Amino acid sequence: TNQLLGTNLERNDVINLLRKIELTPLASKQNFSDDTIEFEVPTFRIDLEREIDLIEEVARVFGYDNIQTDTSSRFTFSSQPPKRDFENELREWFVGRGFHEAVINSMNDIETAKLNSNEFVEVANPISKEMAALRTSMLPGLLNSLRSNIFHGTKDVRLFEFGRVYFKKEAPKGGDFIPGFYEEDRLAIVLSGLAERRHWDGRVQKADMFELKGELEACFRKVFLDNYQFIPYSNAESLVDSCLTIEVNGKTVGKVGKIRSNILKRFEIEQDVFVAELNVTSVEQNKRLKNVYHPLPKYPSVMRDIAVVIDENIPAGTLIDEIRTTGGILLKQIELFDIYRGDQIAAGKKSCAIALEFNSEDHTLTQEEIDKEIQLIVKKISVVFNASLRA
């Protein structure tokens, strides 16, 4: 009342003012809260329906002339929950990378809800069959949006959406949910068409899984998310093919992959679509709270390139992770800059060209130290992957 009227009335002042117009405080709830008083409204005052109606009565009985005019304005700023701040940080990042945010209804028809999971929540009294179930994945809604864009002539699409998915199952421990139901905040991303505009020299680069994976890795660096891994994953019942799960500290926080051809046919889409879906809460819980800064190196770095021949079915990322672990504190950067398949290596093999950067914080590295590190790396990957150096 005081905040809206600009007065300094005490609790009893408000009660006494409203008593004058036959508004009686409820005795059982009078002391419910220091900031709350409930009144019994007489039957002849049918105009009093809301809290603001009572505040207007206080102003009228108190007297408008007794309310001093204040030349300054008062503003009350409410702080956002930390989750919203994190979502806004991610939102600004993806918008800056050329993505467009979508806002899509969280209800689907029954058949669409079944595409991702049979543990969907069915609406008791749906207004239409298209809104008969709550979504278990955000991807079908984004695929509908993608189809609409393609039909209207926009084939190069980069979309993302924040939202919630719902399941009819018991929630993990620690969640505050209705028994038998589970909700999860997610971020979904869709990439399709060209990765960038056609270049004047004729180059055309189509969107692919590596493009989307790179966007996610850049985003993770932005929000200080460390110790993440992309691990190959296969599930015949999933919406996506060639799928990778994203794990942080051993916990799955999302998936990235290519939409299956039969799903694309269902949505009448005739071009490849690459998607990712992240558990926003899990990502936020596993990120560093602040950035860590290091001084510029005092001593020069040493660069070495190696070409490692491994089996075709071994992901290059797995090889790089093993090299990073074996390299220790002297190995500062690793970059995969080429993959070769051809007549110069055996069938079923591939050659991964990798750039290694070594640096020490307290001295200039010698040739012997670098050779020792390279030998340790080569020995380890030869044991783990049966790898060899390409001559």
Q: What is the arithmetic mean of pLDDT over 320-347?
A: 90
For residue 351, what are the domain limits?
302-389
Count up the domains in the chain and report the number: 3
| 76 within a domain of the structure (yes/no) | no
Residue 108 has pLDDT above 80, yes or no: yes
| 367 within a domain of the structure (yes/no) | yes
Residue 94 has pLDDT above 90, yes or no: yes
Q: What is the arithmetic mean of pLDDT over 307-325?
A: 90
| 37 within a domain of the structure (yes/no) | yes
Q: Quick one: tokens of 388?
A: 């060899």
Regarding whether 91 and 22 lie in a shared domain, the answer is: no
| 270 within a domain of the structure (yes/no) | yes
Range of weakest confidence among 64-78, 112-126, 173-187, 234-248? 64-78
Regarding whether 357 and 311 lie in a shared domain, the answer is: yes
Regarding whether 359 and 233 lie in a shared domain, the answer is: no
Q: What's the CATH number where 315 sits?
A: 3.30.70.380
Regarding whether 222 and 145 lie in a shared domain, the answer is: yes
Other Cβ atoms less than 10 A from the Cβ of 380: the count is: 16
Q: Which residues contact 173 (CB under 8 A, 6 or more apart)?
A: none
Regarding whether 310 and 281 lie in a shared domain, the answer is: no
Q: CA-to-CA distance for 364 and 203, rounded, in angstroms? A: 43
Residue 324 has pLDDT above 50, yes or no: yes
Show the 3-state SS of the chain.
CHHHHCCCCCHHHHHHHHHCCCCEECHHHCCCECCECCEECCCCCCCCCCHHHHHHHHHHHHCHHHCCCCCCCCCCCCCCCHHHHHHHHHHHHHHHCCCEECCCCCEECHHHHHCCCCCCCECCCCCCHHHCEECCCCHHHHHHHHHHHHHCCCCCEEEEEEEEEEECCCCCCCCCCCCCCEEEEEEEEEEECECCCCCCCCCCCECCHHHHHHHHHHHHHHCCCCCEEEEEECCCCCCEEEEEEEEECCEEEEEEEEECHHHHHHCCCCCCEEEEEEEHHHHHHHCCCCCCCCCCCCCCCEEEEEEEEEECCCCHHHHHHHHHHHHHHHEEEEEEEEEECCCCCCCCEEEEEEEEEECCCCCCCCHHHHHHHHHHHHHHHHHHHCCEECC
Q: For the segment 1-52, what is each residue's pLDDT rounded down to a tens digit? A: 787 888 888 888 889 999 999 888 887 554 455 678 888 888 898 898 888 9
- Check residues 70 and 341 and name the one with the higher pLDDT: 341
302: β partners: 358
Q: Calculate the CA 210 to chain-centre distance.
A: 18
- Check residues 185 and 198 and name the one with the higher pLDDT: 185
Regarding whether 103 and 240 lie in a shared domain, the answer is: yes
Residue 353 has pLDDT above 90, yes or no: yes
Chosen domain end from 218, 253, 286: 286
Regarding whether 270 and 212 lie in a shared domain, the answer is: yes
pLDDT at 73: 66
pLDDT at 239: 83
Q: CA-to-CA distance for 205 and 197, rounded, in angstroms? A: 8
Q: CA-to-CA distance for 386 and 247, rounded, in angstroms? A: 26
Q: What's the CA angle centered on 233, arms 258 and 142, to 5 degrees?
A: 30
Regarding whether 91 and 43 lie in a shared domain, the answer is: no
Regarding whether 239 and 142 lie in a shared domain, the answer is: yes
pLDDT at 34: 64
- Check residues 238 and 285 and name the one with the higher pLDDT: 285
β-bridge pairing 157-167 and 100-101? parallel
| 282 within a domain of the structure (yes/no) | yes
Chosen domain end from 66, 94, 120: 66
Q: Return the axis-axis angle of helices 367-385 and 316-327, rounded to nearest 10°.
A: 140
Regarding whether 307 and 265 lie in a shared domain, the answer is: no
pLDDT at 226: 82
Q: Which of 280, 237, 282 is nearest to 260 (CA)?
A: 237
pLDDT band at 201 (very low <50, low <70, confident <90, very high): confident
Chosen domain end from 286, 310, 327: 286
| 239 within a domain of the structure (yes/no) | yes
| 74 within a domain of the structure (yes/no) | no
Regarding whether 50 and 178 lie in a shared domain, the answer is: no
Q: What is the arithmetic mean of pLDDT over 46-68?
A: 89
pLDDT at 85: 86
Q: What is the arithmetic mean of pLDDT over 307-318?
A: 90
pLDDT at 102: 95
Q: For the segment 204-229, what is each residue's pLDDT rounded down to a tens digit? A: 888 899 899 999 999 998 888 888 88
Q: CA-to-CA distance for 339 and 253, rounded, in angstroms? A: 29
| 343 within a domain of the structure (yes/no) | yes
pLDDT band at 188 (very low <50, low <70, confident <90, very high): very high
- Check residues 100 and 29 and name the one with the higher pLDDT: 100
Regarding whether 279 and 310 lie in a shared domain, the answer is: no
pLDDT at 236: 65
Q: For the segment 112-159, what is each residue's pLDDT rounded down to a tens digit? A: 888 888 888 888 888 898 899 999 999 999 999 999 999 999 999 999
pLDDT at 38: 87
